[in-house]
Amino acid sequence: MSDYGFIINECKKAHYGNWEEEAFNACVKRLENFSRQELVHLYGTRWLDSGDQFKKAIGQVLFKQKIEEHRQMISSSSIEELGKMLTEKGGNNVKWAREELKRRYQEEGHDNQKLIISFFVNGVTKQDQKWGEARMPKAEV
């Protein structure tokens, strides 16, 4: 049986039950040998539901290069650029910028932490605003 046939059979089994760990790992290993066209066909097969863990694994293989380029772009951006991305309404990078700013908040010095907090306080979502307000230094009365 070909790799493609094996994976389709396992997808059918998992569709009516749950993924077995050995079968899941075997299928993920075999994805590396597939062409882009085969991956796209597998990604759209009716045997995989939208939240299926194997569908997510196929997506990671399919879009690996684009995801890596995007991560590099976000990690090489300055705090000011990330702040602009965070405050964009309907921006494509809001989630990525939010995660990177929170990561940098843990690592950066006091001045940069204040800058990051200010971006969150002026954020688009109420959740971002609450996150920033919770970390603002208490004003001395």
The pair of structure tokens assigned to 119 is: 């971006």
User: Domain extents for the chain?
Assistant: 3-62, 68-134
Residue 122 binned pLDDT confidence (cut-offs 50, 70, 90): confident
Tell me, what's the pLDDT at 139? 53
Specify the residue for token string 């109420």. Answer: 126
The count of other CB atoms within 10 Å of the CB of residue 19 is 17
The pair of structure tokens assigned to 67 is: 């995801």
For 38-90, how does the pLDDT look when each residue is reduced to its tens digit (9 = 90+)?
A: 999 989 889 888 788 899 999 889 888 888 888 899 999 999 999 888 888 77
Asked whether 74 and 101 are in contact (CB, 8 A), the reply is no
Dihedral sign from CA coordinates of 64, 73, 82, 116? positive
Q: Which residue type occupies 141? A: V
pTM, full prediction:
0.62
For 11-31, how does the pLDDT look when each residue is reduced to its tens digit (9 = 90+)?
A: 999 888 888 999 999 999 999
Query: What is the mean predicted confidence (pLDDT) over 77-105?
Result: 87
Report whether pLDDT(33) > 60.
yes
Alpha helical stretches, state H, 1-141 = 3-16, 21-30, 36-43, 53-62, 64-76, 79-87, 94-107, 110-121, 126-134
